[in-house]
Amino acid sequence: MNYPSLETVPHEWNPGDVILDLYEVQPVTEGHLETLTEKRFHEGGFGRVYKVWHRSWQRHLAVKCPKPTVSISQEARAAFKRECETWININLHPNVTACHYIRDLGGSPRVFSEYADAGTLADWIVSGRLYEGEDIAIEKRILDLSIQFAWGLHHAHESGVIHQDVKSLNALMWKNGTLKVTDFGIGGTRFVSNQTEHKHFTQTLMVTSGSMTPSHCSPEQLAGKKLDRRTDMWSWAVCILEMYNGGVTWISGAAADNALESYLEYGPAIVT
């Protein structure tokens, strides 16, 4: 279907739809090798993620939008847009997913960002893609992704942004092995203003507690305390443990230190 004007754009999109003569909606793929499947959209924590072809830019984009059942007030809509500006204003970096803009289409705010052609780090863990090859290849892959993850977070921190919802689902993957951190602003991100010009790793950027994912949260998040960049570092370390462990076997990220002790003594809890 072709929806040439703002008044005609529906909330739900389907492959083959053309929105505003600019966005061609395409199917998405999930899984790996024999589990590869084609779907209308990705299902995410925020809502649905559509894949579109931007006719002018000649590239694929991800379009994140709330689920159809979600009702958004004008106040919540305005607050959400302000939060997403945090993500948009982060300078470009090879390990940070670029967020281009937000548009109201079909009665919902939609976030247009880079489209990852190989899913998420969580997908790679669950599908076993992370563990393909010999042990040395797996070790190199995990260390490489851990470093890329850290680079992306460090860049955000130096820009004054604390993610607050660091997890494997918020690490997008490309077929060439690139990892980029995503969903700044959607996962409870706050922009930290009034920074000093001279930035060092030891600088503490304080923010109030936002949303979080229990399995990857830090002790400070669980306690509802004020947060700084160290909360992201804890959650990043939980993601590394998740990769080595073959998945999440703990309820709270705040207790991941106990899970680490178990891993060091008994090895991975999930056979990969």
pLDDT tens by residue, 123-162: 999 999 999 999 999 999 999 999 999 999 999 999 999 9
Distance (Å, rounded) from C-alpha 122 to C-alpha 86? 24
Above 80 in pLDDT, residue 218? Answer: yes
Please give the structure tokens belonging to residue 102.
Answer: 């937000």
In 106-188 the beta strands, taken as DSSP E runs, fall at: 108-114, 161-162, 171-173, 179-181
Q: Based on the domain organization, do 205 and 256 belong to the same domain?
A: yes
Between the CA of residue 40 and those of 36, 82, 96, 223, 229, what are the distances in Å? 14, 29, 25, 39, 36
Kindly state the DSSP code that residue 91 receives in the 8-state scheme: P
Residue 251: predicted pLDDT? 94
Q: Of 54, 80, 114, which residue constitutes the final position of a domain?
A: 114
Q: Indicate the helix (H) or strand (E) that contains 153.
A: helix 135-158
- Domain match, 170 and 35 both: no
Name the phi and psi angles at 229, rounded to 5. Answer: -60, -20
Q: Which of 114, 143, 171 is the last residue of a domain?
A: 114
pLDDT reading at 226 higher than 70: yes
Report pLDDT for 86: 87
| Containing structural domain, residue 84 | 11-114
The pLDDT tens digits of the residues spanning 180-211 come to 999 986 654 343 433 333 343 334 444 544 57
Domain boundary among 69, 92, 114: 114
Is 144 found in the same domain as 90? no
Say if residue 66 is in the same domain as residue 152: no
Q: How many CB atoms lie within 10 A of CB 145?
A: 22
Q: What pLDDT is attached to residue 71? A: 65
Q: What is the CATH number of the domain that holds 183?
A: 1.10.510.10
Three-class DSSP category at 65: strand
Q: Are residues 234 and 140 in the same domain?
A: yes
- Rounded to an integer, what distance in angstroms lies between the CA atom of residue 85 and that of residue 135? 42
Does 256 share its domain with 132?
yes
> Angle at CA 48, nearest 5°, toward 44 and 50?
120
Number of domains, the chain:
2
Specify which residues 241 forms β-bridges with: none
Residue 253 has pLDDT above 50, yes or no: yes
Question: For residue 14, which phi and psi values (nearest 5 degrees)?
Answer: -130, 150
CA distance 69 to 71: 6
Query: Do 68 and 127 have their domain in common?
Result: no
pTM (predicted TM-score): 0.88
Q: Do residue 83 and residue 154 come from a single domain?
A: no
Let me know whether 99 and 215 are in one domain: no
Residue 6 counted as domain residue: no
Whether 138 maps to a domain, the answer reads yes
pLDDT band at 69 (very low <50, low <70, confident <90, very high): low
| Residue 95 shares a structural domain with residue 131 | no
The reply to whether 34 and 141 lie within a common domain is no
Please report the pLDDT score of residue 81 as a whole number: 83
